[in-house]
Chain A
């Protein structure tokens, strides 16, 4: 039972529900310089946003008595940010093996639904084109890892672009 569950994990697809991408409302995001060991609702609008000040060296706020400095960063051009949630695995789906054969029948597959009973689903719950990055006591600045990461799509485009013909 266990091992068949694992094979499902390898074969499992996570389908993005397309309508949710189109309808995703703009979301306000802050990347904090600390790990809050919880995923839960938080009164950000009541406790955090009203305390943000524009200081000389960027945005200022405090969290749990510690001073944060922040800056707004943009999602790289050509990309759109989405906040997504992935459906939790439904009980009883894991062990099912009714996917046999569907992979091999390439022509039919396109007509058939690509969704199998053991697949999971993802929804976009928000979209964003910028967010605020916070550093502990100093503005993250251009050398912050996340700022570097945001430059990745441009380099990726070059690596994965088709090569010129001879």
Chain B
């Protein structure tokens, strides 16, 4: 656990861009080639233990439409004019956890001192993964990177980001990148863990992990620039401590100030957008409305989507971050109640009842033998 773990579970209001940006670009160039949620590929094979007898208890069996069952999206997606975008096939194989993708390390980056930028995309949304990215190049080639006119990804249109990412791919002889896709399921289960692992800690640890990954790959990192999460000072201190041989700069708006951070932000944003668009639902959902709006909690479209797709028992598909207040509020209203052993309110209620119950019984009580108590067994008094 990180020391700086005071941040709330839900990102503060400041994390949400004032003008929520639509996930889907309206730009015409790439639209035709964008993947749809489902496309034609062989159906997913069910693991053998999941085989299930059909037809039994007919009222409860929900037949799964063969038309949608197990279809998979394509793994390589064309974005922009004739280029190949990020290969997210690894993520699509399993998007329930964490997935790391990276470019090959340019040979020059092993030799020359390198600048490395760190940025993130998709921190605020209630839907989809959060993507952390690093981008690096030799200090000597920084002007070449600037010449690409990389800028803060938020100021760019989706088309421009896609185009810039492709340019970086063309410059793979001196620009390298790596990213971690943190699935919404990973975010939910971390933040809702018995020991809460908040989003800031998760972010910091992921950023450190990526810098370490670059070092492990042999990148000669000498300078790191990071767009801050939480307080810049404490974050910088922590990173500096972790990487004493590297000059670390943590700054707010680093993605606008340092081209290498801008480049990282473009990588992150391209990956995030693509991951959301080509999201492989773990669930065998049908009739799914793909118009989730921006994914930000304050977007009415997103809220409407959540409300429409709430399932009374399971809540939402894993695309949704259950740990977001928006999601929880909808579940409280529209899904069945669920209590866990660490739900505090439940515990209190239970112990109060049992105490009052036994007070009235006096000293005659003969509780069941400890053998039974230790195994949760009791004699049946009713069926």
Chains A and B share a contact (CB less than 8 Å): yes
Task: Using known A-B contacts A27-B56, A28-B52, A149-B375, determine if residue A43 contacts B313 with beta carbons closer than 8 Å.
Answer: yes
Chain A CB within 8 A of B339 CB: yes
In the complex, A125→B50 CA distance in Å?
19
Inter-chain contacts of A126 with B (CB < 8 A) = 56-57
Contact of B50 among A52, A66, A152 (CB under 8 A): A52
Determine the residue in chain B with the shortest Cβ distance to A63: B314
**Which residues of B322-346 are within 8 A (CB) of A?**
322-323, 327, 331, 336-342
Cβ-based interface call for B376 (8 A) = yes
Is B185 engaged at the interface, CB distance under 8 Å to the other chain? yes
Cα-based distance from A46 to B314 in the complex (angstroms):
10
Interchain CA distance A125-B285 in the complex, whole Å: 27
Question: B103-161: which residues lie under 8 A (CB-CB) from chain A?
Answer: none
Pick from B18-26, B59-67, B170-178, B214-222 the stretch touching chain A: B59-67
Is the C-beta of B194 less than 8 angstroms from some C-beta in chain A? yes
Bound CA span A147–B313, Å:
26
CB-contact partner of A38 in B59, B312, B383, under 8 A: B312
Inter-subunit contact A40/B336 (CB<8 Å): yes
Q: Describe A's contact surface by its main secondary structure.
A: mixed
Contact of B53 among A25, A33, A47, A62 (CB under 8 A): A25
A45 CB-CB contact with B under 8 Å: yes
Report the interface size for chain A: residues with CB under 8 A from the other chain.
Answer: 45
Contact present for B188 and A65 (CB under 8 Å) = yes
Say whether B189 faces chain A, with CB atoms less than 8 Å apart. Answer: yes
Question: For the complex, what is the distance from the CA of A42 to the CA of B283, rounded to whole Å?
Answer: 13
A51 touches B96 (CB 8 A): yes
| Contact call A65/B315, Cβ cutoff below 8 A | yes
Interface string of A24-50 (1 = CB under 8 A from B): 011110000111111011110111111
Which residue in chain A gives the minimum CB-CB distance to B340? Answer: A34
Q: Are B188 and A136 in contact (CB under 8 A)?
A: no
When distances are taken between beta carbons in the complex, the residues of chain B under 8 Å from A35 are: 338-340
| Those of A90-133 within 8 Å (CB) of chain B | 122, 125-126
Is B314's CB under 8 angstroms from A137's CB? no
Give the 6 A-B CB pairs with smallest separation, nearest first: A65-B322, A65-B188, A148-B375, A67-B189, A42-B313, A37-B337
Interface residues of A (CB under 8 A from B): 14, 25-28, 33-38, 40-43, 45-53, 60, 62-67, 72, 86, 122, 125-126, 136-137, 145-146, 148-149, 151-152, 155
5 A-B interface contacts by CB (under 8 A): A25-B53, A33-B341, A37-B339, A64-B315, A148-B375
20 other contacts beyond A33-B340, A43-B311, with CB at 8 A cut-off? A25-B53, A28-B52, A36-B313, A38-B312, A42-B314, A46-B285, A51-B318, A60-B96, A62-B96, A63-B338, A65-B192, A66-B189, A66-B192, A86-B383, A122-B383, A125-B57, A136-B194, A136-B341, A145-B375, A152-B377
